[in-house]
């Protein structure tokens, strides 16, 4: 049957990221702020292969920091990000990750007590329901979402991740 998360999934338009490391997304945003304009240049600057560079560029775009139509350009949020101090950058990234449609559905389902925990399998079912993905791609994208949830655990205290299961953090903290 899948997960209760799939009942609230948007069927169209949700892109599922494939860049596990939020810190590397941050580095890409900062490079774009310094004038780097394409995946090849990002790859050279961050020691990525070009394919990996595209994944991180797409993640920065999904989070709302970068526009990649013709060349990489900062959005308004991206400009605010690069001109901010480090604590503010963390807050902006936390907000962007929490606003991601998939992460938002996970957090909302936990907060509404529809479920007590979300497993990596639940995330896979959600990814299948929102995209045209299948096979190993689904497992890799679920790994990315779980990595983003772990990053949120360390940087916001909103969620707790143990192994492949996420729950709401019982002791919320202020950023």
Domains 4-11+100-168 and 22-85 share a fold: yes
- Distance of alpha carbon 75 from alpha carbon 81, whole angstroms: 10
Residues 40-71 as b or e (16 or more Cβ within 10 Å = b): ebbbeeeebeeebbbbbbbbbbbbbbbebeee
**Fold topology of 4-11+100-168:** Arc Repressor Mutant, subunit A (1.10.10)
CATH architecture for segment(s) 22-85: Orthogonal Bundle (1.10)
* Tens-digit pLDDT profile for residues 84-128: 999 999 999 999 999 999 999 999 999 999 999 999 999 999 999
The pLDDT value recorded for residue 1 is: 37
Reported confidence tier of residue 172, pLDDT bands at 50, 70, 90? low
User: Model-level pTM?
Assistant: 0.90
Q: How far is CA 114 from the centre of its chain?
A: 22
The yes-or-no verdict on residue 7 having pLDDT over 60 is: no
Reported confidence tier of residue 131, pLDDT bands at 50, 70, 90? confident
> Cα(first)–Cα(last) distance of the chain, in Å?
38
* Tens-digit pLDDT profile for residues 52-75: 999 999 999 999 999 999 899 999
Arithmetic mean of pLDDT over the chain: 91
Give residue limits of the domains in the chain.
4-11+100-168, 22-85
The yes-or-no verdict on residue 11 having pLDDT over 90 is: no
Reported confidence tier of residue 9, pLDDT bands at 50, 70, 90? low
């Amino acid at each position: 049957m899948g997960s209760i998360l799939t009942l609230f999934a948007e069927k169209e338009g949700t892109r599922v990221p494939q860049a596990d490391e939020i810190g590397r997304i941050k580095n890409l945003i900062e490079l774009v702020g310094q004038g780097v304009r394409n995946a090849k240049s990002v790859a050279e600057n961050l020691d990525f292969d070009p394919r990996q560079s595209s994944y991180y560029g797409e993640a920065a775009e999904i989070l709302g920091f970068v526009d990649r139509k013709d060349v990489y350009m900062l959005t308004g949020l991206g400009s605010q990000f690069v001109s901010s101090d480090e604590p503010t950058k963390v807050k902006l990234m936390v907000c962007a990750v929490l606003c991601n449609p998939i992460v938002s559905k996970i957090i909302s389902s936990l907060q509404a007590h529809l479920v007590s925990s979300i497993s990596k399998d639940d995330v896979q079912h959600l990814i299948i329901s929102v995209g045209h993905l299948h096979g190993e791609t689904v497992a890799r994208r679920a790994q990315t979402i779980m990595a983003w949830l772990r990053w949120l655990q360390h940087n916001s205290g909103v969620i707790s991740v143990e192994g492949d299961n996420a729950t709401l953090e019982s002791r919320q903290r202020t950023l």
